[in-house]
Structure 1
Amino acid sequence: MDTVITTSENKPHVICAPLPAQSHIKAMLKLAEYLHHKGVQITFVNTDHTHKRLLKSGGPHCLDGSSSFRFETIPDGIPHTSEDDDGSALLMHYVETTFLTPFLDLVTNLPNPPTCIISDGFMSVFTIEAAQKLGIPIMLYWTFSACGFMGIYQIKSLIDKGLVPLKDKSFLTDEFLEGIIDWIPGMEGIRIKDLNTILQTTDPDDLILRICIEATQNSHNVSYNIFHTFNALEPSIVNALSSMFSQIYTVGPMQLLLDQVPKYEKQTEMSNFSSYSLWKEEPGCFNWLQSKEPKSVIYVNFGSFTVMSLEDLIEFGWGLANSNHYFLWIIRSNLLVGESAILPPEFEEHTKKRGFIASWCSQEKVLNHPSIGGFLTHCGWGSTIESLSAGVPMICWPYLWDQTTNCRYIWKEWEVGLEMGKNVKREEVTKLVQELMGEKGNKLRDKAMEWKEKALAAAGPNGSSSLSVNNLIEEIITLSRN
C-alpha cells in the first residue's frame, strides 16, 4: 500500500545533508522532493557556495520551495577561486573539519524539531557526530550504484591484504591492473582496474583514501542505508548488502519514482522549485534535436567533474566529426585543464552542420529525446542510471572514482555499452561511434530498452523501488512517533 501522510499533526521532519557536488545534490534533491510529496517536511541544507550557484543557474526564485520544504545554508569555508572550483581533496578537508559547528547551530535553531537526518554517505564524517549530539537518528544515502559502493567499501580489506596503497607507480602495469579480485561479495570476476581509482594511490596518508574508508565503514554505525539503484539491476550486490546491514533501501531511479507523481500535484506543492543544476542549462539544443531523425544523434557529456587536455578535446572532436554522425556535445566552461576550450576553426567549419555544442543542458530531457541514439559518457552514476532509464546505450570513457566500476558493469554485466581506451585517439572514437550508432549497435540498443523496462517496473506500482521507498517513509513515520 502506498504511504502518504495526510495529517499535519506530528508530520515527520527530515534534514537532508548532501555532499556539495552536482550529482550528489541532484540525487538528494530528488529523494527529498519525493518524500515531501508523500507528506514529509524537508529542510535541505546546502553550503552557501552551492546555494548561490543553484540560484545563479536556475533563477532567483528557483529554490523558493514551500512552507514545508525549506532550503537552508551553512558556510563551507572553502576559498573558491571561481564558481567552477570543485577540488575534491579540498572539499573533503573542509567537510571533515569545518561543517560540524555551523550544521549543529542551524539544526538547533530550526522552528520544528527534526525527526532524523538523511545524510550523504560521504558527509557522515561529521553528520553521525552531529546526530549523536542532537539525539536524533540518522540515515546514510549512497547516491551511486551498489557496485560503486561495494568497490569503495572494500578499500579497508585491500589495505589489510597489502594491495593498497601501491609501493610506487611502477606497479601500475597491465598485469597488475588486470588481476582478478575473487573475494568481493557479489562482484565475481572484478579486476583491480575496475575498482575505484583511489586504490591506485601510492600515498598511505591520502586524504580521500582515508575518508573513503571512514565513510563506508560508517555504514555500520547507522541503522539505515539507502542506495540509488534498483534490485533487478544489481541483484547479487544488493543481496550482499542486505546481509551486511540491518536495513537497506534501494530507491532508484529516483526520477522514475518522481514521474509517478501527477504534474498538478507537483505544481501545487513546489510551484517555484526548479533547479537541480549548478550550471545554467542551455535550451537551444532541443530545437536542434527536434530537426533530427530518431536515434540519429550521439550525445557527449563528461559530467560535472571530469577535466582533460586540449589535445584530448581535439581528438574527441575529430573522432566525432569523422564518424559522420550527428552529435550534441556538452563542453563545460572548466572542462579543460588550465585553458579555454577553443576548438580549431577548421573543426567548427567541418562540423557546423552535424554538431551542436553547448555548455550545459537538461541531461534527462536530452537522453529521453527520440533523436538520441547513443551516449558517450564518463560513466558517473547519475549519467549511467539516467541513460539506463532512457534506454540509451553508451560508450564508456571513465575518468576517476567509481566511474571505472560503473564502466565495467555497463559493458560487461549489463551489456549496454562499449569500453573505450584511456588514451584518447580520434580513430577509436570514430570506430566506436560508428559501431554504437550503426547496425552493430542494435543488440546494445535492444538490451538498453530491456533495462529501461526493468527500471520502469521497479519504479512502478508494487515495483521493488516503490516498495522500498514506501518502507523508508514508514520507518520515518515510526521515528517521528518515538
Structure 2
Amino acid sequence: MGIPHVLVIPYPTQGHVIPMMKLSQCLVKQGCKITFVNTEYNHRQLMNASAMKDGTGNQICFVSVSDGLESLEDRKQPEKVMEAIMQVMPEKVEELIDQVNEYNKDKISCVLADYNAGWALEIAEKKGIKRAAFRPNAATLMVLVFNIQKLIDDGIIDEDGTPTKRQMIKLSPNMPAMNTADFMWTCTGSINLQKIIFKNTMRNTKATKLTNWLLCNSAYDLEPAAFTMAPEILPIGPLFVGNPPGDSAGNFWPEDLTCLKWLDQQQPQSVIYVAFGSSTFLDQTQFHELAFGLELCNKPFIWVVRPGITYAVDDAYPKGFRHRVSGRGKIVDWAPQLKILDHPSVACFISHCGWNSTMEALSCGIPLLCWPYIVDQFHNESYICDMWKVGLRLNKDERVIITPEEIKNKVEKLVGNGKYKASALAFKEMIMRSIKEGGSSYNNFNTFIEWLKS
C-alpha cells in the first residue's frame, strides 16, 4: 500500500492531547501521514501556543470539529462536556472522514483513537477502516475497567458503578491496592457525573473489542502484573523520552521559558518544582496553605499556577507572599515541564500524579511528593509510593487540608533520604532500556508500524 494515512482522535483534554501528539510525531518519523482532530476550542488554543508557531506541527495536518459547546461556562461543567463529546462529535468526525476520503488522494487507512473516544472506533469499523486504540495513561486503568463485571458479580460495586461500601481491593496480588472510593468514575464528587463516566467507560470497553491494536503509554517493567492480566494491551512508552526534551507540542498554553535561565542560577538538586496539570482545582484555603508551605520550606521553587487553578478573581496569594519569596521563588502560568524536570537543579516534584507528569518525572529520575486530585491519579500515587518507592504521600489533616508543616516535613524527608533519588534513577534507566532498540516498547511500536504499512 501507499503512505499510511492515520486519523488521530484524542480525547479533548490537555492531558490526553499531549501524549497523542507525541505518538503522532513518532508516526510521522516512520513515514506516516497524520490528520490530527481537535475540537474547535482546543484547536484555537493549540494554534495559539508557542509550540505551534515554531514549526513543530508542520508535518501534521491539524483539523477541527465542533463539540456543540458554545460558552466558556458550559466548558467548566464536566457533565456537559462529556455529553457533547458523546453526542455531537461522532457525527462531525464521520463527516470529516467522508470529506478527507473524497478530496484527498491518500485516503484514511487507520483511525487511531483515544480509548475514551470509543465511538470513533465504532465509526471506523462501520466504514471498514483499520482501527487502533491508545490509552495515554496506565494499563492498570484498563485492567480495572476490564474487570468491572467481576466487581459487580463480587458485590464490590452495583450496576451503575457505585461501590457497595468503601474498601480496599486488589485486582492482582502484585498490583497496588485500590480504594473503591478512588475508582476513576467514583472520585468525581458528583453522582450524575459518576453515572455519565461509568456509562461512557462501559461503552468504550465494548468498543475496544473492535480494535486491531490496544496501545498504552507505559512499559512492561512499570506495571508487569497489569500486563500479565491483560496481555492484549501493548506498551509503547513512555513516549516523552523518545522526543527532544524541549519539544512541547500539544500544550494549550504558552510556556514561560524564563524558568530555564532561572534554574541555571540555582544549586544542583536544590529546587522544588510544583505543578498540578491542566485540571486540578485548589480552593482558596488550600491554595494559601500550599503557598505558606513553600515559604516554610525555605528552598528555591518553581510553582506553576495555571489560570483557573483557584476561583480567586484578584490576587489569590497570601498577603505579602510574593514579596517575601521573590528572591527564591519563580511563579509562572505554564512551564516547559520536561525541560525543568531534566534540569540538574531540580530536587523533587510536588505533583497531582497525572500519568504524563509521573512518566516525565521517572524519565528524568526525579522523586515525587504526591497530591492526587481525580480519576487515575490516586492509583498512580499507589504505584509511586507503594510499588516503585520513588515518592511520598502528602497527608491531609482533619480539615481535609494539606498543611504547610506537612509539606515542609515531606520535602525534607524526600530530599534528605537518598533512597528515593536512587530509586527514581533506577527507573529512569529501566525506562531508557524499554524505548531503546531491542527494548520491549521499541519492539511493540515497530510491530505496530509494520502493521500500519502492510
TM score, norm. by length of structure 2: 0.91
| 2:305 paired with 1:337 | no
Counterpart in the other structure of 1:49? 41
Q: 8 Å contact 2:132–2:213 — kept in the other structure?
A: yes
Instruction: State the AA in 2 paired with 1:470.
Output: N
User: In 2 relative to 1, CA 188–297 (structure 1 residues): closer, same or farther, beyond 3 Å?
Assistant: closer
Residues 1:20 and 2:2 are matched in the alignment: no
Map Cα deviations across residues 175-216 of structure 1 (whole Å, 9 max, x no partner). Answer: x54x33244485264443554352677848711121122223
Instruction: Give the alignment partner of residue 352 of structure 1, picking from 321, 326, 329.
Output: 326
Q: Say if 1:153 and 1:321 are closer, same or farther in 2 by CA, change over 3 A.
A: farther
**Match among 90, 97, 117 for residue 100 of structure 1:** 90
Which of 78, 82, 91 is the matching residue for 1:88? 78
Cα drift, residue 328 of structure 1 = 0.6
Distance 1:343 1:407 in 2: 27
Map of 2:113 onto structure 1? 119
* Alignment match of 1:405 (pick from 361, 379, 388): 379
Q: Which residue pairs with 2:60 in the alignment?
A: 69
Given the alignment of the two structures, is residue 431 of structure 1 paired with residue 409 of structure 2, yes or no?
Answer: yes
> Are residue 219 (structure 1) and residue 208 (structure 2) matched?
yes
Q: 1:409/1:291 Cα in 2 relative to 1: closer, same or farther (>3 Å)?
A: same
Report if aligned partners of 2:66, 2:89 keep a CA contact under 8 Å in 1.
yes
Shift of 1:280: 1.4
Counterpart of 2:20, as a letter, is M
Task: Please say if residues 164 and 199 of structure 1, whose CA atoms lie closer than 8 Å, have aligned partners that are also in contact.
Answer: no
| Mean Cα deviation higher: 233-242 or 24-33 | 233-242
Aligned mates of 1:447, 1:319 — CA distance in 2:
26
Contact 1:144 / 1:381 at 8 angstroms: preserved in 2? yes
**What is the letter of the counterpart of residue 243 of structure 2?**
L
Pairwise mapping of residues 379-418 of structure 1 onto structure 2 (< 5 A)?
379-418=353-392
* Counterpart secondary structure, 1:139: strand
Deviation, structure 1 residue 347:
1.7
Matched with 1:136 is 129
SS in structure 1 opposite 2:279? coil
Contact 1:26/1:276 (8 A) holds in 2? yes
Q: Distance in 2 between matches of 1:156 and 1:201?
A: 23
**Contact 2:161/2:185 (8 A) holds in 1:** no
Would the alpha carbon gap of residues 323 and 165 (structure 1) be closer, same or farther in structure 2, given more than 3 Å must change? Answer: farther
Task: Compute the displacement of 1:153 (Å).
Answer: 3.8
Percentage identity across paired residues of the two chains: 29
1:302 to 262, 265, 276: 276
> By how many angstroms is 1:475 displaced?
1.2
Distance 2:323 2:198 in 1: 45
Secondary structure of 2:432's aligned partner: helix
**For the residues of structure 2 that align with 1:45 and 1:167, how far apart are their CA atoms?**
31
Shift of 1:56: 1.6
Matched, 1:475 2:451: yes
CA contact (8 A) 2:366 2:421 kept: yes
After TM superposition, the structure 1 = structure 2 runs for residues 188-267 of structure 1, keeping only pairs within 5 Å, are 189-193=177-181, 195-196=183-184, 198=186, 203=191, 206-242=195-231, 245=232, 248-259=233-244
Tell me: CA distance 1:59–1:443, structure 2 relative to 1, closer, same or farther (3 Å): closer
Q: Which amino acid aligns with 1:344?
A: P
Aligned mates of 1:341, 1:378 — CA distance in 2 = 23
Say which is worse superposed, 94-103 or 215-224, in terms of deviation: 215-224
In the TM superposition, residue 163 of structure 1 has moved relative to its aligned partner by 3.1
Q: Distance between the aligned counterparts of 2:223 and 2:178, measured in 1?
A: 14
- Aligned residue type for 2:395: G
Q: Kindly tell me: are residues 193 and 119 of structure 1, through their superposed partners in 2, closer, same or farther at Cα, counting changes over 3 Å?
A: same
Q: CA deviation at 1:255?
A: 1.8
Which residue of structure 1 aligns with residue 440 of structure 2?
Answer: 464
Residue 339 of structure 1: how far off its partner (Å): 4.0
AA matched with 1:52: R
Distance 2:215 2:161 in 1: 36
Report the CA distance shift for 1:194/1:75 in structure 2 as closer, same or farther (over 3 A). closer
| Residues 390 and 452 in structure 1, CA contact (< 8 A), matched pair in contact too | yes
Partner Cα distance (1:76, 1:39) in 2: 30
Q: Secondary structure at the match of 2:117?
A: helix
Q: Cα distance, 1:346 vs. partner?
A: 2.3
Cα distance in 1, alignment partners of residues 189 and 259 from structure 2: 40
What is the deviation of 1:104? Answer: 1.3
* 1:314 CA drift (Å): 0.6
